[in-house]
Amino acid sequence: MSTRRTATPHYRSEPIAPGPFEPSWESLKSQYRPPEWFRDAKFGIWAHWGPQCQPEAGDWYARHMYMQGHWQSDFHRKKYGHPADSGFIDVIGDWKAENWNPDDLLDLYVQAGAKYFVAMANHHDNFDNYASRFHGWNSTRMGPMRDIVGTWAEKARARGLKFGVSNHGAHVWHWWQTAYGYDPEGERAGERYDAWKLTKSDGIGTFWEGLDPQDLYGGTNMPLPEGLTDARVAERWHEEHDGVWDEAPPAANPAFVESWYRRCQDLVDSYKPDLLYFDNHDLPLGQAGLDMAAHYYNASLAWNAGRMDVVLNTKLLPRGHAGALVEDVERGFRSEIVQHPWQTDTCIGDWHYRREIFENKRYKTAASVIHRLCDVVSKNGNLLLSVPIRGDGTIDNEERRIVEQIGEWNALHGEAIFGSRPWRVSGEGPTTLPEGLFGESSVRPFTGDDIRFTTKGNVLYAATLGATSGAMTLSSLAQSSATGAGQVEHVEVLGSDAPVTFDRDDTGLHLEIPEAAGHDFGVVLRISGPGLV
């Protein structure tokens, strides 16, 4: 195993784990191979859960509550008070997770068919949901007073699930700058919010006594400039400055990179995750991200007796970095089969729990999740699904119903999903998909005429992405076509004993699906014959 002889960066107080991986794209790309467990797993569930779930007011609450005129800021002022007086620190103090039952939730997720489970270790709010050795603002010292990541890890692995963690902390240094702002308008115009004013001494007698609020809020890296008198102008300033999704390390704040690196290394070494998800484009914070990737890969070889058995996720990989890790496509799609295994992550609601979605019945349906799963798997991908958790640690009854329905479908049709591999083409049908991140809102629902193919062994599976019965044609199996090689000897509907009649010609495989066969979400056909796969 090799060791590094280059100068040690200032942020690296502990050495990179010894091993073959060097902190360079060339080394990562040439040596990394995704583990088979990930390629077989296909479906994971994510607990994107932290103190921002406590208000039940949606994602990015901690940033937006400091932006005058934003609906989450209006919500915060009504519930907690003005952010100059009651800031996000007070939300953390309110979060107790008093009804959290991880055994119940994980049992539900196993029944749903999940093969891996991911827990959020920290978000852009800079709060660690684990027993952090280098950051006092963590869940063992305040709020739930529990090691959330450690509890999830123990209980997930006891159920045979692979365990992952997500780290969103590399953006704290700019994302949190709204907490140093002020109201441009109104009776308290110009008065800076709590992050600007609070010091360690202000914590005496509070739940955060002994801690420095600046370690939570990240310091004044680019605070809102003085003199703004229009809330809309201030919002545009935030969007153009601290709202820019910047992966570079902050030049004026080297201590931030050191804190991020030490905490991430602590997270990796303490919990030995099977999957590490970075909420970043490429790797975070320049060389620090490469160092952490090399450390994670090398350390995992020691945990796993020399086997490469872990997954590292980031997003928007440049083509030259493909294969160095497993790319994630947040709330997005691939248009066709991808050579390297990949992952999409999405949520049935908002990333942080939002009660309004529950009350207005706006969650993704179980059918839409299953259709998404079939589409992703047909293209060599995995689906990581977030089920929002309330601040008290529970999910609502509508979420539970959706997860149970997903499990019912997987119990009948999972052989077409788990352990499968792509076919010659991913599918056919009228629905077109955009390539890349954040395409969900622009896509029409799938239909029963949309088909997705997978294979396992010598069997071909075809799933319709909507209910169907009667006559249907699979044009991809047309005789003498580029994709139609092989013979079709038998066709059946998974979960049904009803016989399927079929014939085949130069326009496709023509089938008659019995009305009583299949499922409300669609049918899955098992097609067998020599040379099909």
Q: Residue 9 has what pLDDT?
A: 87
* 308 & 352 share domain: yes
Q: Find the helix packing angle between 397-413 and 366-378, rounded to 10°.
A: 40
CA–CA separation, 167 and 182 (whole Å): 29
CA angle 133, 146, 11 (to 5 degrees): 20
Q: What's the domain range around 444?
A: 427-528
**Tokens at 112, concatenated:** 């749903």
* 167 & 296 share domain: yes
CATH number for the domain spanning 477: value is 2.60.40.1180
CA–CA separation, 467 and 123 (whole Å): 39
Task: Give start and end residues of each alpha helix (H) in 80-227.
Answer: 88-94, 102-111, 148-158, 172-175, 194-197, 213-217
List of long-range contacts for 441-447, beta carbons under 8 Å, 24+ apart: 443/333, 445/368, 445/371, 446/368, 446/371, 446/375
**Tokens at 320, concatenated:** 């030259």
* 340 & 479 share domain: no
Q: Please give the tally of structural domains in the chain.
A: 2
CATH number for the domain spanning 117: value is 3.20.20.80
Domain limit, last residue, from 391, 416, 441: 416
Cα–chain-centroid distance for residue 321? 20
CA–CA separation, 314 and 78 (whole Å): 37
| DSSP of 504-520 | EETTEEEEEE-TTSS-T
Residues of the chain with pLDDT under 50: 1-5
User: Which tens digits make up the pLDDT trace of 99-130?
Assistant: 999 999 999 999 999 999 999 999 999 999 99
Would residue 81 count as lying in a domain? yes
Domain limit, last residue, from 416, 438, 470: 416
CA–CA separation, 17 and 331 (whole Å): 33
| Residue where the block lists tokens 């709202």 | 243
User: Which tens digits make up the pLDDT trace of 392-410?
Assistant: 999 999 999 999 999 999 9
Q: Residue 226 has what pLDDT?
A: 98
Cβ atoms within 10 Å of 186's Cβ, excluding its own: 12
Q: Residue 6 has what pLDDT?
A: 52
Amino acid 450 reads D
* 437 & 299 share domain: no
318 contact partners, CB below 8 Å, separation of at least 6 = 282
Q: Find the helix packing angle between 397-413 and 102-111, rounded to 10°.
A: 40
Q: Which of 441, 388, 380, 416 is nearest to 526 (CA)?
A: 416
